[in-house]
Amino acid sequence: MTETAPAPAAPKKAKAPALEDQPLTELIPAHFLPRLQEALTQLGLGAVELQWREAKIPLAGADDPETYWQVIGAWPESGRQFNLYFWEGSLNGAKGFSWNLAGRPPSALESFMIDERKVTLDLLLLYTLQRLNGQKWLVWN
């Protein structure tokens, strides 16, 4: 009886990189902003203007000279605006949230998604919509 050598194992396929592995400066404008715009449109709030830019914190009395990457959403008709800050310039780094009305600077910064170890695009969208709904900007409860 002759023994045959076992067949070599097939090489493992390389796993495609996750969207979230892209640099933040590519991920947010290419994937997050369109999905956020679509979600807000489905909720009847399509007149929002979304921007992705590096800017100073618009907080009243803040004199931090640093600039941070931010998602800025504004409804020109109502004067509502929100800012989603990426303090460390990464999806899984520290994030903050602020909102304001009638063009006034926000009065407070809030931490955002502090308990999430690994942030996905879906989670970022969900938390953003939850935060806007908590402000009663999406639906009145």
Angle at alpha carbon of residue 113, lines to 111 and 116, rounded to 5°: 140
Rg of the chain in Å (alpha carbons) = 21
Residue 54, pLDDT > 90, answer yes
As given in the structure block, the two tokens for residue 65 are 């000279």
pLDDT above 60 for 47 = yes
- Residue 31 · residue 19 · CB < 8 Å: yes
pLDDT in tens, 99-119: 998 878 887 889 999 888 889
Strand partners, 53: 70
State how far the Cα of 99 lies from the Cα of 108, in Å rounded to an integer.
Answer: 8
Q: How far apart are CA 130 and CA 124, in angstroms?
A: 10
Q: Is 4 exposed, middle or buried (0-12, 13-18, 19+ CB in 10 A)?
A: exposed
Q: Which residue has the higher pLDDT, 91 or 13?
A: 91
Q: What is the pLDDT of residue 129?
A: 94
Q: Cβ–Cβ contacts within 10 Å for residue 94, how many?
A: 13
| Domain residue ranges of the chain, discontinuous segments joined by + | 21-58+81-134
